Amino acid sequence: MTSPTTAADPAQRTYDAGPAGSSRFSLALPTNDTSSQDARPLLLVLGLPTFGLAFAITILTTYGPSVLTSHGLSPATVGALIGGEGAFALVVPLFAGALSDRLPASTPSGRRMPFVFLGAPMVGTGLVLLPFAPAYQLAGLMILIFFIGYYLYYPPYRAIYADLLPKRLLPRAQSSQAIFRGAGLGVALISGGLFLSVWTPLPFVLGGAVLGVTTLALKPVLRLQKVVGPVVTDPDDEDEEQVSARELFLRNRPLQIFVAANALWEFSFAGLKVFIVLYITHGLGHSKNLASAVITIVAVAYVIGAPIAGRAAERWGIVRVMEVAALSYGLILCAAVLARSVPPMLIALPVGALAGAILMTLPQALAFTLAPEGAQGAAAGLVDFSRGIGVVLGPVLVGAAVSACTHFSFFSHTHGYAVMWGVIGVPNLLSLLLLRMLRPARAEG
C-alpha cells in the first residue's frame, strides 16, 4: 500500500499557483502559528466553489418550484418532488466522502478532486435542463441528477478544508466559507427573480455557468494538494483511521448526536428556501419584486452573521455559540406564524437571519472537531448525509403542512403558508437538547 506523502517542513509548505515561471501569487498551508489574516489567500481560493454551489442549489430550490407549479402541481407535490428526488442521493455523500479518504495522494487529480470534477457536470446538467422539461416526470429526473452530482461534489470538497488547515483555524475557515455561501445564496435569491421575469431558463443557465467557473478556481488547490499531500504522523495507523462513514457513525456517539442536530437545522433551512417566495407571492399576495427585497435583507444579515460566528466560536466555543443562535432563531421563526403582513417580517427577519447565519456557519467545523484524524472525508460525508435528510424532509413536510392548513381559519389569510414558520422553527428549538449533549465531547476535544 502506498503511504501518503508528507510535507518536510509544515512552516514552508508553499506552492506557486501561477504558471511555470510566474510569481503572481502563492498559497501557503497554515500551521498552528499562522494567523487568520495570513491564511486569507488560501481561504479565498477554497471558498469560491462554495459560492457556486450555494448559487446553484438556491436557484433550484427557490425558483424551481415556480417552474414546477407551471405544470399545475400543488405545494405538497412540489415539496415531495424536490425533497423526494433528493432522497435517492442520500447514500452518495457517505460513499464520496469516505472513498476520498482512501484514494492515495498520488492520484492524478488528487484524492478529492475526482469527485468534484464528476459531480460538477451533473449539477450543471440537472440545473440547466430543468426549465426545459416538458413534463414533471422529466423535471424530476433533472432534480435527481442535480442532487446526485451535488452530494458527489460537496463532501470531498468540504474535506479539503480539513486536509489543508489546522483545527484551530476551522471555525474561522467556516466563517469565510459561510460568507461565500451567504453571498451565493443572496445573489441567487436577489437576481433569480429578476432573471426569471426576463426568461424562465435564464437563472438556471447562469447557475450552471457560475458553478463551472468557481469549480475551475480550485485548480491552484489541486496542485497544492498533490504536491503536499496529507500530513500523517504515524503511517502505520492510517488503515485504522480510514473508516467508512457508516463505521464512523456507528462508533462515534458525538457524531451520532451531531447528525441528528444537523438534520434538524437543514430541515428548517430547506423548508424556508423552498417556500419563502411562495409565502410572499401566493400567501400574502405580493409581487416577486417585493419577495426579492425581503430576501435581500435576509441575505445581507446572513453575510454579516458569518464572520461573527467564527470570532464568537473562538472566544466562547462552538457549542455554546450554536446554542444561543438556535434558541434565538427558533423563537423568531415560531413567532412569525402570527405575522399577517410584510412590515413585521422586515423587523424580525433580519435578527432571525443573523441568528440563523451563525447557526448554519459552524456545523462543519463542529463535525471535524468531533471526528478522529484521517477521517475528515467520512465526517464531511456525514455532514452532507444529515444535510440530505433535512433537504428531503423539509420541503415534503412543510409542503404537506401548507396544503393541510389551507382551509384552517387561523391560516386562511395566507392560504395556509403561515404554518411554514412553525414547522421550520420548532426543529431549531429541539436541537438545543442535542447541543447540550455535545458539551462533554467538545470539552474533551
**pLDDT-derived band at 243, boundaries 50, 70, 90:** low
Identify the sign of the CA torsion 328, 332, 333, 335: positive
Query: Residue 205, Cβ neighbours under 10 Å: how many?
Result: 18
Give per-residue pLDDT as tens, 253-298.
899 999 999 999 999 988 887 788 788 888 888 877 777 777 777 7
What's the DSSP call for residue 281? Answer: I
The answer to the question of residue 297 being in a domain is yes
Predicted pLDDT at 21: 39
The answer to the question of residue 3 being in a domain is no
Predicted pLDDT at 442: 53
Better-scored residue on pLDDT, 295 or 312: 312
The CA distance from 355 to 126, in Å, is 32
Whole-number average pLDDT of the chain: 80
The answer to the question of residue 383 being in a domain is yes
**pLDDT-derived band at 20, boundaries 50, 70, 90:** very low
Q: Is the pLDDT of residue 6 over 70?
A: no
CB 144 within 8 A of CB 84: no
Mean pLDDT confidence for 85-102: 78
Angle between helices 363-370 and 136-164 (to 10 degrees): 60
**pLDDT-derived band at 89, boundaries 50, 70, 90:** low
The answer to the question of residue 8 being in a domain is no
Give the residue among 445, 431, 299 at the shortest CA–CA distance from 363. 431
The answer to the question of residue 235 being in a domain is no
Whole-number percent of the chain with pLDDT over 90: 25
Give the residue among 189, 155, 221 at the shortest CA–CA distance from 388. 155
Cell matching residue 389: 435528510
* Whether this model's pTM surpasses 0.85: no
Name the one residue in this structure whose C-alpha cell is 405538497: 76
The range of the structural domain enclosing residue 353 comes to: 37-229+243-444
Predicted pLDDT at 126: 95
CB under 8 Å, gap of 24 or more: what pairs does 167-171 form?
Answer: 167/368, 167/369, 168/32, 169/30, 169/34, 169/36, 169/39, 170/364, 170/365, 170/368, 170/369, 171/309, 171/310, 171/313, 171/314, 171/318, 171/362, 171/365
Predicted pLDDT at 168: 77
CATH, residue 359: 1.20.1250.20
Q: Is the pLDDT of residue 41 over 60?
A: yes
**pLDDT-derived band at 86, boundaries 50, 70, 90:** low
Give per-residue pLDDT as tens, 318-364.
999 999 999 999 999 999 898 877 777 778 878 888 999 899 888 98
State how many domains the chain has.
Answer: 1
What's the DSSP call for residue 108? Answer: T
Mean pLDDT confidence for 211-232: 74
Better-scored residue on pLDDT, 442 or 240: 442
CB 270 within 8 A of CB 424: no
The answer to the question of residue 20 being in a domain is no
- Torsion angles phi and psi, residue 364, rounded to 5: -65, -45
**pLDDT-derived band at 377, boundaries 50, 70, 90:** confident
Whole-number percent of the chain with pLDDT over 70: 85
The residue ranges of DSSP E strands in 124-200, in sequence order, are none
The answer to the question of residue 236 being in a domain is no
The answer to the question of residue 198 being in a domain is yes
Between vectors from CA 348 to CA 345 and to CA 351, what angle results, nearest 5°? 135
